[in-house]
Amino acid sequence: MTQKKVFVTGGAGFIGSTLTRQLAQKGYKVTVFDNLCSGMRDNLAKDGSVRLVTGDIRDKEMVTAVMKGHEYVIHLAAQAFIPVSYDLPVNVAETNAVGSLNVFKACLDTGVKRIVHISSSEVYGSAVYTPIDERHPTNPVSTYAVGKLAADLWAQTMHFEHKLPVVVLRPFNTFGPRDTLPRFIPEMIRQCFKEPVIKTGDVSTFRDYTFVDDTCRAMASALEADGVEGELINFGTGKALMMKTILEMIKRETGNESKEVIEDTSRLRPKDVSPLIAGNIKAYKLLGWKPEVEFADGLQKTISWYKSNGAAWSYEKYGWQWRY
């Protein structure tokens, strides 16, 4: 039986590397397309189950050439660290918006059967009501989120205009092993183990965190689900925790309950969003998806992975300059 081929942009990143493992286990032949800006070769499975092509989604000709022959596409590639967007807005726009448009056009040119475009809950801004369902108004408050929303609108419009076989997924926050950027949870774990004092940004906000394995199950299930083309689907646990509570859990799990915590004004965002709580009814109805890993269990798995993998995230190993 011929293996189905799936092309994953950003597949060497945090979420992408878990996703490619799941896809390979399901029998797909996986090609990862990644510029290795924050994604890492080290993140990919060492069993040869995936092929890595180093390239940038801003290069439309290369995207199209490599995509040829693949039946399915999952588009994850993005400049995903929000603080970067403050300093590099043009880069973020070129990658998250125009780069996505390149991927969509390549999908049309190569005749793929389905593209799963990964958006972000950040496009909603602060909640007008909770849980946030797909009808919630969009009000992006970062350059990152504006770029993601632009890509979503292009995806949906190209579905109407050109029958692009796309489904747009909006995951809420994700956490777990192999994170590549200094987001809140990996950065708090690092500081608990390695810093004399824990420095934070705003810990009064609320987030809906899904363990990475669950996030990737949703993405994989959207590849061949019936009746989802043209749809926009949110997914998350439907529960939110205050960042301060998450930090207290991390301190307890790492044995650092007494460590001092101070607010570092350099880590505060110009404008933050809260609360982010996912409405996941549509994900259950259309994808049969619901979260399986409780937050506390996922946090234990994440800390255990960190300790057993040299107590270093990839951004520590390779000198990523940004900090949460």
pLDDT digits (tens, 9 = 90+) for 276-307: 999 999 999 999 999 999 999 999 999 999 99
Max intra-chain CA distance, the chain: 58
Residue 174 sits at φ, ψ, to 5 deg, of -125, 145
Residue 198: predicted pLDDT: 97
Ordered by start, the domain boundaries in the chain are: 5-177+210-236+276-294, 184-205+240-274+301-317
Residue 87: predicted pLDDT: 87
pLDDT-derived band at 320 (thresholds 50, 70, 90) equals low
Average pLDDT for the chain: 94
Res 236 pLDDT > 50: yes
Per-residue pLDDT tens digits for 136-176: 999 999 999 999 999 999 999 999 999 999 999 999 999 99
The closest alpha carbon to 77, from 135, 120, 122, 29, belongs to 120
Collect all residues with Cβ–Cβ distance below 8 Å to 2 and sequence separation of at least 6: none
Could you tell me which CATH number the domain at 5-177+210-236+276-294 has? 3.40.50.720
User: Could you say which of 3.90.1170.50, 3.20.20.70, 3.40.50.1000, 3.90.25.10 is the CATH number of the domain covering 184-205+240-274+301-317?
Assistant: 3.90.25.10
Per-residue pLDDT tens digits for 184-211: 999 999 999 999 999 999 999 999 999 9
Per-residue pLDDT tens digits for 34-80: 999 889 998 999 888 899 999 999 999 999 999 999 999 999 999 98
CA dihedral sign, ordered 64, 70, 75, 76: negative
Collect all residues with Cβ–Cβ distance below 8 Å to 69 and sequence separation of at least 6: 5, 110
pTM assigned to the model: 0.95
5-177+210-236+276-294 and 184-205+240-274+301-317: identical CATH topology: no
